[in-house]
A and B are shown apart, each in its own frame.
Chain A
Amino acid sequence: MSRWRYFFRRLLLSVPVVLFGLTITFVIVRMGPIDPVAAIVGPEGGGASRGRIEERLGLNEPLWQQYITFMVDMLTFNLGQSWVIQPGRSVESLLMTYAPRTLWLGFWSVLIAICIGIPLGFYAGLNPNTKSDYLASFGGIVWRAMPNFWLAIIILAVLRQSERFFFGLSWQSLGVSNNLIGQPPLDFIAFTDWTTIGIISIPVGVYFSFSTLIESIKQVMPAAIVLGSAAMGNEMRIGRTAVLETINSNYVETAKAKGLRDRVIVWKHVFRNALVPLVPIITNEAFILIGGSVIVEVIFGINGLGYLFFQAAVQGDLPLVGSLMFIFIVLIVSINILQDFLYTVLDPRVGYE
């Protein structure tokens, strides 16, 4: 089977995966132990309002019809609205408000994990069985085993007392002053003016505030470090093994025999090849980020998607929960497809079976 046929088979397979994932969501939300209407109506709601809401949600119809309506609505991205948290607000507008914060958080946590984890792993791999290798490896293992929620509160406590730990250097007033808990300001960039060429709109006036950007990064940094911690440990470990494997391979030996300089060998022959096994690790992080963002967002007070999902689940806003779950399914399935695509392009050995 050619690589591309394999890829297209995977692509085709993702259709039943989305459908079945949605079905599970439907079963949990509509047939689960909680009555979706109860939380919406509230304890003092009478039978009349109950009936009205049941009718609007389509709950008075037979189950199979509810199922079909639910599936069609979701698949046509007719996501409905929130009923309890912000009644009447459409899910799209909620997403527009909440998603950018999670994306910003996720972006930094992936970036930090890559920028710290991979270099450390490569360093450990280049100096195997030395003291610094042991230190880095052991640190990575412990770092990975730390529960995010615990790491988060410890980091918060340390930063709150940063004068005591860092010789009078206070994190809160470092650079720009801010609170430790709260959402990062995202209005550092805005388009003030649009011009239309034909049918395409192009922003011409751009507002950009450097200090707000710094503030925003500083605000999101501790949360991003916590969220990326597990991924960082993973990348370090895999990076170390990958470097060790490539360094002992024949083509590196050949390069050495040719008399290439160490610097060239390391940069051109070792690092480039060691990066290949790291691709799935980095894409896999998306899973962890989406799931883990709940804890981190709740503790750091960032009103992102995870926080929204948590509130929706706790307060019984089940229609919103269903729609958010669908968004997550689509996100994860697309990331999987992206990973398969990258594999197909990068590594010709994949997928002959």
Chain B
Amino acid sequence: MSMNEFDDKTLRERIADNPQPALAWLAGALVLVALELGRLASGIVQVGETTRFALGGIASLPGLVEESVASSLGEIAGLVAFGLAALVLLGIAAILVKWLLIPWTLVDRLGIEASTGVKDIIERVIVTGLLVVAAALVVLTPVGGVLEMAVSAFTRGVEWVSSLPTITSRELISNEGYQLPDGSWEGTFLGLSPAVAWALRVAVVYAYALVWLAWLWRGYETFRAHYREADWTPRDDSINRFRNHYWGMFGLIVVIMFLVMALWAPAVSPATAEANLYQPYEHEFEYYGDDGVETISHGDANFDSRSQGGDINVGIMSYDDYDRFHPFGTNTDGKDLFTFLAYGAQVSLVIGLLATVLMAVIATALALITAYYKGVTDLVTIVASDSIISLPRFLLVLLLSVLFMQANHPVAEIYDGGLLLALIFAGTGWPLLWRSVRGPALQVSEQEWIDAAKSYGQSPAATMRKHMAPYIAGYMLIYASLSLGGVIIGVAALSFLGFGVQAPTPEWGRAVYEGQSLIPTSSWHIATLPGILVVLLVTGFNALGDGIRDAIDPQSEASDGAAGAAGGGG
């Protein structure tokens, strides 16, 4: 919650005045975190690794630019291009650093006098300069080595934390074991059958997530009751309307179910992805065979539990020959389908959310700028967005991903093509979002308070951020959640055609592709279940969007051209 600058007290001061409710809530939150500290830490490690990889990729961009320019225009032009590209990247980084880390303005501290617009630019130049110095220090001096050591020490610490037991860990409620001839189970949690143990673990995961949600809601209520300046804001009404909107609530619940499934994919899946999907021949487990307890690798066991129609089938809610339980059956190559789909949910949601966030950021920024300046900027953006829309979106996405993947471009390797897909979908999708919010943005730019802000001398960026963006944010939320479904379907469709997320990273569309010829047989589950999940998730996001729309603007009527256009193609 951002506070407006005219309050005489900040949120921090208000909490300091009356710390008791906040502390009680914080204590509860800490208990909840402690229960899952290990998993949280391993999540941080994962995100950190990905970020590092992505940063490495971005840092290599100037080099790539240099190479391509140098090959056509010569060495010196290449060096100049390298410098320019690096500056542009650092400039973008400077905006982020300024926004996230430096709450006060350097220009004011230094006492530079200039008009507000110029001040903004000077500010950015200073931050960029500082970043250039920092980057040079890291690259050229031993500071880089020290930094490296500090990071690796921190990583080791987090990794140690991630080995702590958690309430939803596979070791605590284990579903991997074998059945003795007398019918009792060995190795599973409390000797339960693997099916029951698995169901129990899934139940614990969802219960934990539910408690967190309830606690967050309580936190919001505590904030509202004790720490918020205003007794009532229009947002309260929106939230109340949403709570009584059954269709929207249905959407929210479905989306949350999938989010939990994606976040806790290692916990809800009956087997680990590492052992079952990625390196099945390097992981072994025990089972009770003809000669008592034997060990076998996952790969060999998978070979005997394939689903290929007819008698070769491990259907839904069944055990294979090695006492492994498969809630959704197995794949054509014997991998557990539920594990595949849970990790696939992770992939779909990461790509979908990343693409949608990028799209929404671009569209919001453009909508603010075009509504504020109007005229030529507006016209140029109209031409640009109409041109991108005039290229059929799915064909463009298909073409780009085929080209990048066949050329083995380095971008196509990050997250097995996931990042590339997110970028492509964002690059081709922003015009639709921009079109949808252009109207509201133009409307708000006509308001008197914008004029007032202008004449008060507020800088354009601040006016847009403080006085226009909050008004657009609601609309953006609606259209973003409607277009998310389109991205998810598009990614699945591309993977179905073989040009989306590459094996072995699981993706729903690929499961449909593998199982398409088996639908009439006993192995119908392989292609059918992922499709049902896609329908459910997309319906969920659509319902959520409808709910938010009705909550924010009860007068509005369905104008879902954006959703329809975004959903097309797959």
Residue pair B519, A154 in contact (C-beta under 8 Å): yes
Q: A281-B561, A328-B391 are in contact. Are A141 and B539 (CB under 8 A)?
A: yes
Query: Which listed residue, A18, A34, A280, A321, touches B407 by the CB 8 Å rule?
Result: A34
Among A168-176, A206-214, A233-241, A249-257, the stretch that binds chain B is: A233-241
CA distance A284 to B559 in the complex (A): 13
Tell me if A20 is interfacial: C-beta within 8 Å of chain B. yes
User: Which one of B176-184, B335-343, B526-534 is at the A interface?
Assistant: B526-534
Complex alpha-carbon distance, A338 and B247, angstroms: 36
Which secondary structure dominates chain A's binding surface? Answer: helix
Does A160 make an interface contact (CB < 8 A)?
yes
Of all chain A residues, the one with the shortest Cβ separation from B408 is A33
**Is there contact, CB below 8 Å, between B569 and A149?**
no
* CB–CB B568/A160 < 8 A: no
Residues from chain A with a CB closer than 8 A to the CB of B558 are: 237-238, 241
**A window 95-124: CB within 8 A of B:** none
Pairwise interchain contact A288-B395, C-beta atoms closer than 8 A: no
Alpha-carbon distance between A328 and B561 when the two chains are bound, in angstroms:
20
Q: Is the CB of A294 within 8 A of B398?
A: yes
Considering only CB atoms, which chain A residue lies closest to B538 in the complex?
A145
Contacting residues, chain A, for B399 (C-beta < 8 A): 28, 313, 321, 325
Interface string of A17-41 (1 = CB under 8 A from B): 1101101110010001110000000
Number of interface residues of B (CB under 8 A): 56
* Residue B400 interfacial (CB < 8 Å): yes
Does chain A have a CB within 8 A of B382?
A: yes
Instruction: Determine whether the beta carbon of B493 is less than 8 Å from that of A295.
Output: yes
Q: Let me know if A148 and B560 touch, CB within 8 A.
A: no
Which residues does chain A contribute within 8 Å of B396, judged by CB atoms? 28
Query: Dominant SS at the B interface?
Result: helix
User: Is B531 in contact with A154, judged by CB distance below 8 angstroms?
Assistant: yes
Is A185 positioned at the interface, with any CB of B under 8 Å from its CB?
Answer: no
Tell me if B384 is interfacial: C-beta within 8 Å of chain A: yes
Q: Is the CB of B218 closer than 8 A to any CB of chain A? A: no
> CB within 8 Å of A: which residues of B?
382-384, 386-396, 398-400, 402-404, 406-407, 409, 485, 489, 492-493, 496-497, 499, 509, 512, 516, 519-520, 524, 527-528, 530-531, 534-535, 538-539, 542-543, 557-558, 560-561, 564-565, 567-570
State in angstroms the CA–CA spacing of A343 and B531 once bound together.
Answer: 38
* Inter-chain contacts of B388 with A (CB < 8 A): 21, 24
Chain A to chain B: the 4 pairs with minimum beta-carbon distance, closest first: A288-B568, A291-B394, A33-B407, A150-B531
* CA–CA, A14 and B407, complex, Å: 33
Partner of B394, one of A32, A33, A292: A292
CB contacts (< 8 Å) of A276 on chain B: these are: none
**With A and B bound together, what is the CA distance between A108 and B22 in angstroms?**
62
Given known A-B contacts A147-B489, A149-B570, A313-B402, A328 and B407 have beta carbons under 8 A apart = no
Chain B residues whose C-beta falls within 8 Å of the C-beta of A153 in the assembled complex: 512, 516, 519, 527
With a cutoff of 8 Å between Cβ atoms, the chain A residues found around residue B492 in the complex are 147, 149-150
Task: Kindly provide the distance from the CB of A23 to the nearest chain B CB, expressed in whole angstroms.
Answer: 8
* Given A13-B382, A149-B512: A157 and B565 interface contact (C-beta under 8 Å): no
Please name all residues of chain B whose beta carbon is closer than 8 Å to the beta carbon of A336 when the two chains form the complex.
386, 390
On whether the beta carbons of A145 and B485 are closer than 8 Å, the reply is yes
Compute how far the CA of A230 lies from the CA of B390 in the bound complex, rounded to whole angstroms.
19
Within 8 A of B (CB), among A280-330: 280-281, 284, 287-288, 290-292, 294-295, 298, 306, 309-310, 313-314, 316, 321, 325, 328-329
Q: A316: which B residues are within 8 A, CB to CB?
A: 406
Interface flag for A183 (CB, 8 Å): no
Partner of A284 from the list B391, B516, B530, B565 (CB cut-off 8 Å) is: B565
A17 touches B390 (CB 8 A): yes
| Residues in chain A near residue B568, CB distance under 8 A | 230, 287-288, 291-292
The answer to whether A290 and B392 have CB atoms under 8 Å apart is yes
Report if A34-B403 is in contact (Cβ < 8 Å); known contacts: A294-B398, A325-B395: yes
The answer on a CB contact under 8 Å between B528 and A147 is no
Besides A33-B407, A294-B569, 19 other A-B contacts (C-beta < 8 A): A14-B386, A20-B384, A24-B391, A33-B404, A147-B538, A148-B569, A154-B528, A234-B564, A237-B560, A245-B557, A288-B564, A291-B395, A292-B569, A295-B493, A313-B399, A314-B499, A325-B399, A332-B389, A336-B386
